[in-house]
Amino acid sequence: MTPGATDLARPATAPGLRIAELALRAPSIHNTQPWQWRVHGDRVDLFADRSRMLAVADPEGRSMVISCGAALHHATVAAAALGWPAEVTRMPDPRNPDHLATLHMRAGHQPPRAVADLEALQQRRTDRRRFTSWPIPPERLARLAASVATDEVRVVPVTAAPDRVRVELLVSRAATIERADRRFAAEQRTWLDHSAVDGIPSELLPEPRQGASGRVSRFVDEPATEDTRGSIENSDGLLVIGTDTEGPAAWLRAGEALSQLWLHAMNDGLSVVPLSQVIEVDETREALHHEVLGGLLQPQLLVRIGWQEIARSPLPRTPRRPLADVLLPNGRRR
């Protein structure tokens, strides 16, 4: 069970354990939760868990590390909210590329926004239901994108009509390529209703739309038609999270940016859905890089953003593995 923000004062648990526990709520590709934590004293280590990597869709581990980056950002949000602001060392061990980060915590002040951020962290869901048809004003999208930019990561709004059309076609092409490949389809099926503690429960996926030509998400298997566009609506906001370089350090930063973007969007009343198929397929990732990002940025994730119906029913949470399952024994080298 993940505790609510009101449990912040719970005294008994060491802060490192509470921080790791709260970071479990991070989004991850297919809800694989590909991370492990080690807690000792005022230090918390994050490791990638390669046994949970998607061998077909993610052979290099990009989505695995992006997921871990999101967990790392969740951990820093939790640490700040608990009054233990953390300093992060990324890739601390050159001999172990799976050791992604170390958080060094110091007792300190709780920043003013910390509790609101923690509340957003606990309320966050991937809600794949269709957004309302209200378009997001471009300046609002630009503000959101700018709010998470760092030296290592840039977030690019896709607003120009020709770029949007190009992105939609690439998303559609990636979905068609993956659907035609039995290995992709089989791997994705494995993570639908995978277990009581991971994977994506099919009850959380939206119903296919009657008579629609497109699909709401990669998991909703509507009959293929000539026009497979439709996973993106005209009014959806689109952002590409990109990095200057490629490799695990860049992926980790991209994941941190995803988490930060998601929490900022929530505080702005907006909903976020990642779309990673276009990144998973080499051909469409390359096309996104050259044709939409001008060859300047490496695309790491596409996200669509919009407003959910105010009166929508609450979406249940996806499950998580218990903390004990992702905790490495203290002192054990990995």
> Which residue in the set 63, 76, 260, 298 belongs to the binding site for ligand FMN (CB under 6 A)?
63
Listed ranges 94-102, 120-128, 221-229, 306-314: which one lies at the site for ligand FMN (CB under 6 A): 120-128
Q: How far apart are CA 271 and CA 262, in angstroms?
A: 8
Within residues 281-310, the interface with ligand FMN by CB under 6 A covers 301
Residue 196: C-alpha distances to residues 100, 192, 193, 206, 318 (Å): 27, 11, 8, 20, 9
Amino acid at 288: L
Count of other CB atoms within 10 angstroms of residue 11 = 4
Q: Which residue of the chain is nearest ligand FMN when measured via CB? A: 27
What's phi and psi for 47, nearest 5 deg? Answer: -125, 145
Separation CA 246–CA 300 (nearest Å): 9
Residues pairing with 192 in the sheet: 200
- Out of 274, 287, 293, 326, the residue judged to bind ligand FMN by CB under 6 A: 274
**Terminal Cα distance for the chain, rounded:** 27
- The reply on whether position 30 binds ligand FMN by CB under 6 A is yes
* Residue number with CB closer to ligand FMN (99 or 124): 124
Query: Is 81 one of the binding residues for ligand FMN (CB under 6 A)?
Result: no
Within 8 A by CB and 6+ apart from 83, the residues are 107, 108, 109, 110
How many residues in the shown chain lie near ligand FMN by CB under 6 A?
22
State which of residues 23, 24, 66, 100 lies at the interface with ligand FMN (CB under 6 A).
66
Q: Which of 52, 99, 125, 215 binds ligand FMN (CB under 6 A)?
A: 125
Which residue among 76, 172, 260, 277 contacts ligand FMN (CB under 6 A)? 277
Which one of residues 13, 110, 122, 126 is an interface residue with ligand FMN (CB under 6 A)?
Answer: 126
With respect to ligand FMN, which residue has the nearer C-beta, 15 or 21? Answer: 21
Q: Should residue 217 be labelled a site residue for ligand FMN when binding is judged by CB under 6 A?
A: yes
The distance of closest approach from Cβ of residue 29 to ligand FMN in the complex, given in angstroms and rounded to an integer, is 4
Identify the helix (H) or strand (E) that includes residue 40.
Answer: strand 35-40
Residue linked to tokens 């990597």 = 53
Q: Which of 16, 21, 28, 34 touches ligand FMN (CB under 6 A)? A: 28
Name beta bridge partners: 241: 155, 301
**Rule CB under 6 A: which residues touch ligand FMN?**
27-31, 63, 66-67, 70, 125-126, 128, 200, 217-218, 273-277, 301, 318
